[in-house]
Chains A and B, each alone.
Chain A
């Protein structure tokens, strides 16, 4: 059974204070690892797909990296508008489904 564990559950940062979110996973035959951003009461917004260990992707203040066991979402000099829940998901052999973690709730304090 595919599993995803995200840590920490919640993170409060001062504006401009960089940090990293962790996503540990076990999956049969990784097809892709995904990061989504979710605002309260809204659907997840797609951020990145990573396909193989060593891959990195960047978008504005966010950078996602992937190893064989975990992924990190690095946030550089965050702003209050980066406050959201960040979800990690994997797609394995059962390609029709995504298995999600419970998310990290990020709060950026001005």
Chain B
């Protein structure tokens, strides 16, 4: 167990809707990263939050947005859902930005119909 928890574990949404996914980071970790993993693919970096500020972003459109709270928990929001957004969404926490080891949660399986 990594101590990184994500909710919900599964979610079904309709195209065009909005979704919010949540992540509680491991105790003592101030950095949270979000990844998208399509079936049969490796995780793709969405963005990272460090001390409540975005600290880097991958090649994802602006309809993917996030927040980090004072307790270092985090949210991933996706607007105007598309069918291709169906994937496993992973949250990873690390001790500090630039710290090499990242520990992942169990993921949220999002299905867009």
A interface residues with partner B (beta carbon < 8 Å): 4, 31-32, 34, 36, 41-46, 49, 51, 87, 89, 91, 94-103
Contact = CB atoms under 8 A, between A and B. Distances in A.
Interface of B: 2, 4, 6, 33, 35, 40-45, 48, 50, 55-56, 58, 88, 90, 92, 97-98, 100-107, 109
A51 B105 CA distance: 24
20 contacts: A34-B101, A41-B107, A42-B106, A43-B90, A43-B104, A43-B105, A43-B106, A44-B90, A45-B104, A46-B101, A49-B100, A87-B43, A89-B43, A91-B100, A96-B50, A97-B58, A98-B43, A99-B45, A100-B44, A102-B41
Contacts of B48: 96-97
B109 A87 contact: no
Contacts of B45: 96-99
Contacts, number: 71
A32 B101 CA distance: 9
CB-CB nearest 7 A-B residue pairs: A100-B42, A96-B56, A43-B104, A97-B45, A32-B100, A96-B48, A95-B98
A21 B102 CA distance: 22
A98 B94 CA distance: 12
Given A42-B106, A98-B102, 13 more contacts: A32-B101, A36-B104, A43-B106, A44-B43, A87-B42, A95-B98, A96-B45, A96-B48, A96-B56, A96-B98, A98-B92, A99-B45, A101-B42
User: Looking at B4, B40, B41, B102, which has the most chain A CB atoms within 10 Å of its CB?
Assistant: B102
Given A43-B105, A43-B107, A44-B104, A96 B97 contact: yes
Contacts of B97: 95-96
